[in-house]
Amino acid sequence: MKFRHLGRSGLMVSEISYGNWITHGSQVEEEAALACVRAALDVGITTFDTADVYAATRAEEVLGRALHGERREGLEIFTKVYWPTGPGRNDRGLSRKHIMESINGSLRRLGTDYVDLYQAHRYDYSTPLEETMSAFADIVHAGKAHYIGVSEWKASQIREAHQLARELRIPLVSNQPQYSMLWRVIEAEVVPTSEELGVGQIVWSPMAQGVLSGKYLPGQPPPAGSRATDEKSGAAFVARFLTDEVLGTVQRLRPLAEQAGLSMAQLAIAWVLQNPNVSSAIIGASRPDQVHDNVKASGVKLDADLLKAIDEIVGPITERDPAKTESPAKRP
């Protein structure tokens, strides 16, 4: 496993991190989840990403149990706050009240005294950014989080938050966006701004919800048990890619992967890691063998000709519109 700095911070993270968005506590049984975390640890992954909202808080609990007994200083544990975790009006968003209550809940479920990175899961249009950043500052100064990050924020929002973080003397070091060969909306604005500010990307869905693994074929129904067949495991997210045009195009990548000596999944993960602003790529798994396959993308260098060939194939179907950088999440 190779390691990179998270942005321009001193924190080192594994190039490939393990996330449990749609697996732990929902898609797979706990025994399988624990086996996947053990596989991640065995192959050298030290960075683990979760969120309070995943599986209605159960994902944090499962991850906490899976990591119990591990040397805490040897791990980087990330979680997030924003989405509703209860029925009340204040059980959501980035108000001071919700942030303060959420960090305590996350630490309890994870079984740790602190998280290495605490992330704003979306931008909150209903709360003043100064209130949000002040609450984050208090959490950092209390030792409950070492670093602060955001997820799916626009370039202008990252810049404003970064300035407030500097004034509050806390390290805002990361953004967690969707990024893959098929979804490159961060490249035009978010990446240049982040490079300027020293913010690193922790990217999710590097395989475009599994589509870039090549397992979905044009003109055929999704494989049984795949993400596209399970409403609990992100079927709505993968649906945008399940057109014959996209799936047919993806199959044209197979010879390039074989030429590089990689599986299609490895090619997809290695591709996002070619971007120097990417600090880590998040993978998920429902079986340990998926972890063992995916991790082989760490340290892979794709040559310029291969990258050009990939662009020529997927270019016509790649989404690049920077207006789609964020998912608007106005509080109801």
pLDDT tens-place string over residues 102-113: 999 999 999 999
Residue of 162, 210, 148, 151 lying closest to 186 (CA atoms): 151
pLDDT at 176 over 80: yes
Q: Which single residue is written with the structure tokens 């998926």? A: 290
Q: State the pLDDT at residue 332.
A: 31
Per DSSP bridges, beta strands 3-5 and 12-14 are: antiparallel
How does the average pLDDT of the chain come out, rounded? Answer: 93
Per the CB < 8 A criterion, the answer to whether 13 and 47 are in contact is yes
Angle at CA 41, nearest 5°, toward 77 and 207? 75
Q: State the pLDDT at residue 96.
A: 98
Cα gap 179→320, rounded to integer Å: 10
Per the CB < 8 A criterion, the answer to whether 78 and 116 are in contact is yes
Determine the average pLDDT of the residues in 167-184: 98
Per the CB < 8 A criterion, the answer to whether 277 and 191 are in contact is yes
Cα gap 173→13, rounded to integer Å: 12
pTM: 0.93
Of 6-15, 29-38, 180-189, 198-207, the least confident: 29-38
More confident residue, 226 or 92: 92
Instruction: Kindly list the catalytic residues.
Output: 54
Residue 298 in tokens: 């760490």
Cα gap 144→117, rounded to integer Å: 9
Count, residues in the chain: 332
**Integer-rounded Cα radius of gyration of the chain:** 19
Q: Kindly tell me the burial class for residue 91, based on how many C-beta atoms sit within 10 Å of its own C-beta (0-12, 13-18, 19 or more).
A: middle
Per the CB < 8 A criterion, the answer to whether 267 and 257 are in contact is yes
pLDDT at 129 over 80: yes
Determine the average pLDDT of the residues in 318-330: 79
